[in-house]
Homo-oligomer: A and B are copies of this chain.
Amino acid sequence: MTTARRDTYTPETLLTVAVRVFNERGYDGTSMEHLSKAAGISKSSIYHHVAGKEELLRRAVSRALDGLFGILDEEHARVGHAAGRLEYVVRRMVEVLIAELPYVTLLLRVRGNTGTERWALERRREFDHRVAALLRAAAEEGDVRGDVEVRLATRLVFGMINSIVEWYRPDGRGTGERELADAVVQMVFGGLRAEA
């Protein structure tokens, strides 16, 4: 017999549990039963807070997307030379990724089997396009190399940044948030080659 915990959840705190389970089992592999067990409350208690697991997914990926799109509204992302704005956006992407690690991790693993997942993929593409446009502008202003195609360069830069979710653990020894953001900016703009 399982003793259900008294339901003291809010939609917000329930989300924390759900995102952890989604990241562990995959969204497709998670049932309401799994969520109920992980939260220690009954399924009907969960339904008291949310319509179902898809609503939890939508709230979770919204949080990640709001964090990312929020960057583009910040002053340093809007004002000045494109290369400077791009550098600001790259640095802030790393910061948001770290600050919202489980939410961004979930966003990056979304596959597209449900309406919510397809919406999330669509929003991710929109964000990619906004950053690609910045990269294109920086290339036109002559501050970014013109020999790598913009869409490909964007993919490689996102590949580098997004891969951080695979190994970065905030409680891990070693790399701090600031050091990581600095390293990514240096690698994205200057590459490995030593300054001449």
Residues of A within 8 A of B (CB): 26, 29, 86, 135, 138-139, 142-149, 151-153, 155-164, 166-167, 174-175, 179-180, 183-184, 186-195
Contact between B192 and A189 (Cβ–Cβ < 8 Å)? yes
Complex contacts, A166 vs chain B, CB 8 Å: 159
Report the minimal beta-carbon distance from A69 to chain B, rounded to whole angstroms: 21
Contact between B193 and A143 (Cβ–Cβ < 8 Å)? yes
Complex contacts, A188 vs chain B, CB 8 Å: 191-192
Known: A152-B175, A162-B163, A163-B160. A145 touches B189 (CB 8 A): no
How many monomers of this protein are in the complex?
2
Contact between B149 and A192 (Cβ–Cβ < 8 Å)? no
Pick the contact of A183: B29, B152, B161 (CB < 8 A).
B152
Interface of A is mostly: helix
Q: Which residue of B lies closest to A146 (CB)?
A: B194
Contact between B153 and A192 (Cβ–Cβ < 8 Å)? yes
CA of A188 to CA of B192, assembled, Å:
6
Pick the contact of A152: B152, B156, B180, B194 (CB < 8 A).
B180
Report the minimal beta-carbon distance from A65 to chain B, rounded to whole angstroms: 19
CA of A188 to CA of B188, assembled, Å:
8
Report the minimal beta-carbon distance from A57 to chain B, rounded to whole angstroms: 18
Report the minimal beta-carbon distance from A136 to chain B, rounded to whole angstroms: 12
Complex contacts, A190 vs chain B, CB 8 Å: 145, 190-191, 193
Contact between B183 and A191 (Cβ–Cβ < 8 Å)? no
CA of A145 to CA of B185, assembled, Å:
13
Q: Which residue of B lies closest to A175 (CB)?
A: B152
CA of A186 to CA of B146, assembled, Å:
11
